[in-house]
Amino acid sequence: MSTPPFTGTWQLQSWTALKNGTPSGYPMGEDAEGQIIYAEDGFMCAFLMRADFAAKNGPAAAETCLSYGGKWSFAEGRIAHQVSFSSLPHWIGRKLIRNVDRKGDLMTLRTEVETSKSGTRYEHVLVWKRAVS
């Protein structure tokens, strides 16, 4: 298998929540920060946080930071994250699917659409830029 074109380290550029296909906010603020790493050995890790995370007092909460990692795979334009550890306990053991679009130094990951009992559709769009050492 050849190395996918997104293997490496990426810095978060934006994270937008969509409700019924329309932007509805920024889960960790418009200036959220983060990094995702896809290693060639099939492991990945991600950390996302509010820009003011360091200034917050008290324990970290889901509203201020999110981290997870595990194994990853790529097929048919989609990345699967098999979560082994996470700051969100209900993610542990889950497979998170991300549709991926890569253009130059930018990579967009789009979560699968989740539909609520009322029929509202939710998804997230995260734009990443390849990190430069």
- Sequence-distant (≥ 6) Cβ neighbours of residue 91 within 8 angstroms: 68, 83
pLDDT at 54: 73
Task: Enumerate domains of the chain plus CATH numbers.
Answer: 8-130 (2.40.128.490)
The tens digit of pLDDT for each residue in 114-130 reads 999 999 999 999 999 99
**Cα dihedral sign for 35, 90, 30, 79?**
positive
Residue 102 φ/ψ, nearest 5 degrees: -115, 125
Dihedral through CA 92, CA 56, CA 17, CA 13, nearest 10? Answer: -100
Give the tokens for residue 2: 């050849």
3-state helix, strand, coil in the chain (%, to 5): 5, 55, 40
The mean pLDDT of 103-114, rounded to a whole number, is: 94
Of the listed ranges 4-13, 85-94, 105-114, 121-130, the least confidently predicted one is: 4-13
Q: What is the mean pLDDT of the chain?
A: 91
Q: Taking residues 73-83, what's their average pLDDT?
A: 94
pLDDT digits (tens, 9 = 90+) for 9-52: 999 999 999 999 999 999 999 999 999 999 999 999 999 999 88
pLDDT of residue 132: 86
- Is this prediction's pTM over 0.85? yes
Q: What is the pLDDT of residue 56?
A: 66
